[in-house]
Structure 1
Amino acid sequence: MFHILCTLLAILIVTLAHAAPQTSPTIVPQIRTNGFQLEPLNQEYFLRIEHPAGTIRQESVKQDEAGHLQVNGVINQPFEDQGANLILTYEAGPNGYVAKYSFGKGPPTPPPETPLFLSPSALKTAAG
């Protein structure tokens, strides 16, 4: 299931990268379900996938003025049988793809904090 979601996300990113400039203010729809969060914010989005086995994938994507996407993410996959975790951080953009990984024992490294997303009406209410 996790690999299917990753594949679908990769297809979405490739499609967006090759699409004509959008007239819509967001590049993806907002989706919040059990273990899956996709949050649009203008020409950006935030994704978090929590697999029941403990793997967490979290990434943010920004679109620059030229329409290029810049992806930054982390995948944290526990290997309970070995008492270790695989941490993969990655960046992808118009200049290529860079990934770094570590595999080690000890407590898992949590992904970066999930950003707080507020609706426009909540922001208007907070502003007074």
Structure 2
Amino acid sequence: MLALAGPTTPPAPTLVPRILTDGFQLEPLNDKYFLSIRNPDGTVRQETVQVIAPGQLQVNGVLNQPFDDQGSHLVVTYEAGPNGYVAKYSYGTGKPTPPSVPPLFLSPGALKTATG
């Protein structure tokens, strides 16, 4: 007996390819992606980009740049979306205060895919 499968829905296309190299991570996650860039000088950029409607993106990110020769650092948090672009920064000495960027949570499926 031959059983025929019903129509299948093709998987949704990913926004970006998955890339993991030294200091660079690009991770597609359903309708969004996560980007992390770590430079040898200690500068770190992290952002999450999400599709909120066809043709509309919401971007949340942070840039943390140390200035070791001055004992200081610059932290820029930014958000861009349908309501425009907003950036906030702090520059100071001492340990940087973590920005208020929401943490990235991976689904069980994404974790399984990441492990191969």
Deviation at 1:94, TM superposition (A): 2.0
1:78 aligns with 2:66: yes
Instruction: Give the length in aligned residue pairs.
Output: 102
Which residue number in structure 2 is paired with residue 90 of structure 1? Answer: 78
Larger Rg: 2
2:104 is matched with 115
TM-score (norm 2): 0.75
The alignment's TM-score, normalised by the length of structure 1, stands at 0.69
Question: 2:15 aligned with 1:27, yes or no?
Answer: yes
- Give runs of ≥4 in structure 1 deviating > 6 Å: none
Alpha-carbon separation, structure 2, partners of 1:121 and 1:44: 12
Is the 8 Å Cα contact of residues 76 and 110 (structure 1) preserved in structure 2? no
Using the alignment, how far apart are the partners of 1:104 and 1:64 within structure 2?
A: 35
Q: Distance in 2 between matches of 1:95 and 1:55?
A: 28
Let me know the Cα RMSD of the aligned residues: 2.5
Q: Tell me the residue number matched to 1:106.
A: 94
Comparing 101-110 with 28-37, greater Cα deviation is found at: 101-110
Identity level (%): 59
What's the counterpart of residue 17 of structure 1? none
The letter for the 1-side match of 2:85 is Y
Question: Which structure features the higher share of strand residues?
Answer: 2
Contact kept in structure 2, 1:54 and 1:78, CA below 8 Å:
yes
Equivalent residues in 2 for 1:7-46, closer than 5 Å: 24-46=12-34
Shift of 1:108: 2.6
Deviation at 1:120, TM superposition (A): 2.9
> Mind listing any 5+ residue stretches in structure 1 that lack a counterpart?
1-22
Is the 1:86–1:103 Cα contact (8 Å) retained in structure 2? yes
What secondary structure sits across from 2:53 in the alignment?
coil
Q: Does the 8 Å contact 1:44/1:60 carry over to 2?
A: yes
